[in-house]
Amino acid sequence: MKHGSIVGTSVPRREGRDKVTGRAQYVDDLVMPGMLFGATVRSRIPRGKIKKITFGAGLQWNEFVIVSAKDIPGKNCIALIEDDQPCLADGLVNHPEEPILLLAHADRHLLPKAVQAITVECELLSPIFDMAESEKRAEIIWGEDNIFESYLIEKGNVDAVWANADYIVEGEYTTGAQEQLYIENNGMIAVFDAEQGLTVWGSLQCPYYVHKALMKLCDLSAERVRVVQVETGGAFGGKEEYPSMIAGHAALLAMKSGKPVKIIYDRMEDMTATTKRHPSRTRHRTAVSKEGKILGGEIEFTLDGGAYKTLSPVVLSRGAIHSGGPYNWPNIRIRAKAVASNSPPHGAFRGFGAPQSLFALERHMDRIARVLGFSPEDIRHRNFLKTGATTITGQVVQEEIALNKLLDRALELSDYHAKRKQFAQENQKGGVKRGIGISAFLHGAGFTGAGERYLGSIVGVEARGDGRVRVLVSSTEFGQGTNTVLCQIAAETLDLRYEDVEIAQPDTQEVPNSGPTVASRTVMVVGKLVQSAALGIRQTLKASGLLGESYTAEEFRAACRAYITEHGNLRSLAQYEQPADMVWDEENYRGSAYAAFAWAVYVAQVSVDPVTYAVTVEDFVALQEVGKVLHPVLAKGQIVGGIAQAIGFALYEKVIWENGRMQNGQMTNYIMPTSSDLPPIHVYFEEFGTTHDAFGAKGIGELPMDGPAPAIVNAVEDALGVSFHSIPLMPEDIFEALEARRAAEDAISAARGHI
Amino acid sequence: MSEPAQSEAKSQISFTVNGRPVTVSAYSMERLIDVLRHELGLTGTKEGCGEGECGSCSVLMDGTLVNSCLVPALQANGAQIITIEGLASEGRLQTLQQTFLDCGGTQCGICTPGMILAAFHLLSKKRQPTLEEIREGLSGNLCRCTGYAQILEAVAEASRQGPTT
């Protein structure tokens, strides 16, 4: 195959055939001889002290394996950023899904009964359920001040802008929790063997996160813990951290029983107990000139982190850095904090803080436009970042970005101007109201700041005697296309056919640590390393005189055979090195926050039903610049899938909380979009032409989660003339707002009548 | 989820699955999905919610699309069941399986078997459905990855390619 024919084409999904035939094996499809089934006994109170645990009558308790905190061989924690989250509650309970006991039995039908038969008596302590209460500190539920993390980002001197501002525009915006709702529930199988140590197989995103957590929990050395990712049925961030908890539970039961133990959550346990997107509150205060230029602003960004720290500091960081969007802020001050509450910890979900802060910003831009009498597109045009300008962290934009062109193109593709005019006219009549709204945004690819340097990811590529090549990474496939794209990159680099390259199953005993599969980093960061490692193979063969500059598949095979005969194996490793111009000051939050940004403008068209108040997204245009598109079908799938989740985030998916516990943990009453609920979604890619790593690709996975919600709510405002600040925006919210407006209008006409 | 009573005796249930006659010993209220997965090792049928909402466990029972998590095993007695394992023959993919692959209709893959069976059912009832009919026909099967667009394309493409045998 000729160079340039694999990357950029839609080769068949690597594991696709197994998926369409039902042969793909997910964790619940695996059976081990003598396997027991595990279950978790959880707290049902938000905060308290465990006083007594009673095992009810009617069950043969001696047949059950029972594990409590005292059975933990190592440290009772789920190691991540801070060791504050226990694996099993030991005396204290901090949220209503806190694991207290573990049970295992050969008959899985007995487990739900057993869990129900156990009573945990607690002395209640006063809980905290929202951000405002947590900030008041009437109760200290975490650390000294209920604050997991706070950041201050400053650029210029924002205190000096208010006096000269023609306008000062303020707003407060909130977003709710959102469940990832991958269709495959979480699950793990653990096996412990005194000789070989501990092995877990599971549905997960980050094998080495689980590895690290198990070493500490079980007090085992690195060599004696093995983590294997099996086919994973969706994740979206929801299998970044909680799998470490479930793996720990399965491991403890396996160690105590000496038998394989499988834990599979049912849907309700998965929805109520595992992580969800952080609820957020963002306050904006912006100084604007009468020409519509942003002079400066203050942003206060707050997240509800739940009961333990988990990933909240990192989600907060990304949300805060994205809170200024794709605009030029000469002066800005961002205060960000993540606070504690007595609900299960919130965690990673596609977008990772950015959908929250960008919802606020892109609603606020429309508010500024309205206050100044500008159009939504005009206010954005006047404030876009340009090449050579600096972001809020002082990062100089090096790329040839052309956001004005991107916006104009999106407006053209969506027929925005004509529709806006048409809807304004038609909305004068009764009946259905229509509107059109836009959002402009960005998403940073890879870990923030020095994150990639700390990770120091390693990737391997090996060639075998038969000329077949294998990519060795801990980067996981859970639908996004990791397997396919990394094989494309290796094949392209080695001038081989796509079919000649395979990818190893992520297994900590087999693959190096290429970092977690998160942060839109896999193609850009890991892909670049795959390219480097593949080049290493090529150069090794060339330096040994076995291969020329160009070669046939047969020549490559012969060269591999000859090299391996002499040296035993042919393996090339590549490790991440931070580019010299990427400097980050963690102390002051200054410098290059991301190696690259993807840019986008989305346009949503909505209708609002005058009887049901339901909002329907009728049409959606998504235009983005993500660098080189390596696989058009997969890329489009990422964008459409992300937009579908974001439409759910904006309009459908509402978590009902009571005493810190999700009340609607079922697909029956937590509503995600079906095939009947979604509009035609038109996806377009632009390329600004800047060259980047790994064939010019930037991150793509999270971007489409960021922009739809504000575009939709902006469109609802366009339709109704009423401004909404919170999502999910439910029909009852619209009903209330319209009723309030009607009452106000009635009061005005009544007052007029009295004159 | 229905839990079989421990005191209840198992009974012999016979049906045809993917053209093969089988007899299993199961509690009468045991779920068909469990019989398929645990007794017969047909793990291509997936469980997503256990309450008939997500459609991942969709199978064909006497030509009707059912959620196998809601069907008691006893009800399958004498029935013809088709699961995802019954679609491809001798290593050749069924048209829908191929178009799902080509169009990007499968991402994480967990909804795919049920989705393909729902599409198969739809096309067996109506060879050339409109886009709206495809949307409607698949609305009982949830997919969190794709946003459905490439699934709809795959079904439309299979419909264009002709008979889905």
User: Where do the domains of chain B lie?
Assistant: 11-86, 95-161
Q: Rounded distance, CA A608 to CA A627, Å?
A: 36
In this predicted complex, what is the ipTM? 0.97
Contacts across the A-B interface (CB distance below 8 Å):
173
* Phi, psi for residue A147 in degrees, rounded to 5: -105, 120
pLDDT-above-90 percentage for chain B:
88
User: A563 Cβ partners below 8 Å, 6+ apart?
Assistant: A463, A540, A541, A544, A546, A570
Residue A689: the pLDDT is 75
**Cα-based distances in Å from A457 to A140, A230, A350, A663:** 38, 21, 21, 40
Query: Residue A2's pLDDT is what?
Result: 47
CA quadruple A239, A240, A246, A248: dihedral, nearest 10: 160
Q: Residues in chain A with pLDDT < 70?
A: 1-4, 690-693, 754-755
Contact yes or no for A357/A442 (Cβ under 8 A): no
Report CB contact under 8 Å: A479, B3: no
Q: Kindly report the nearest CA distance between residue B29 and chain A, in angstroms.
A: 13
DSSP string, B39-102: IS--TTS--SSSSSSS-TTEEEETTEEEETTSSBGGGGTT-EEE-GGGTSBTTBPPHHHHHHHH
B144 and A676: CB-CB below 8 Å?
no
Mean of pLDDT values over B76-80: 97
**What are the structural domains, with CATH classification, of chain A?**
16-24+451-575 (3.30.365.10), 31-125+181-273 (3.30.365.10), 280-448+589-736 (3.30.365.10)
Residue B7 is predicted with a pLDDT of 53
Per-residue pLDDT tens over the stretch B19-34: 999 999 998 889 999 9
| A17, A21, A239, best to mutate vs chain B, most B CBs in 10 Å | A21
Nearest by CB to A678, from B50, B56, B148: name it.
Answer: B148
Contacts of residue A50, defined as CB under 8 A and 6 or more positions apart, other chains included, come to A43, A89, A91, A92, A93, A100, A120, A121, A122
Stated pTM of the model: 0.97
According to CATH, what is the number of the domain B11-86? 3.10.20.30
Closest CA to B18 of B70, B79, B66: B79
User: What is residue A117's predicted lDDT score, i.e. its pLDDT?
Assistant: 98
Architecture per CATH, domain B95-161, reads as Orthogonal Bundle (1.10)
Cα-Cα-Cα-Cα dihedral of A242, A245, A246, A252, to 10°? 170
The mean-pLDDT minimum among A694-698, A738-742, B2-6, B129-133 falls in: B2-6
Residue of B nearest to A676 (CA): B135
Q: What percent of chain A has pLDDT over 90?
A: 96
Q: Does A208 touch chain B (CB under 8 A)?
A: no
Beta bridge partners of A547: none
**Tokens representing A96?**
């209503």
Q: Write out chain A residues lying below 8 Å of B136, CB-based.
A: 675-676
Domains B11-86 and B95-161 share a fold: no
Given a cut of 70, is residue B1 above it in pLDDT? Answer: no
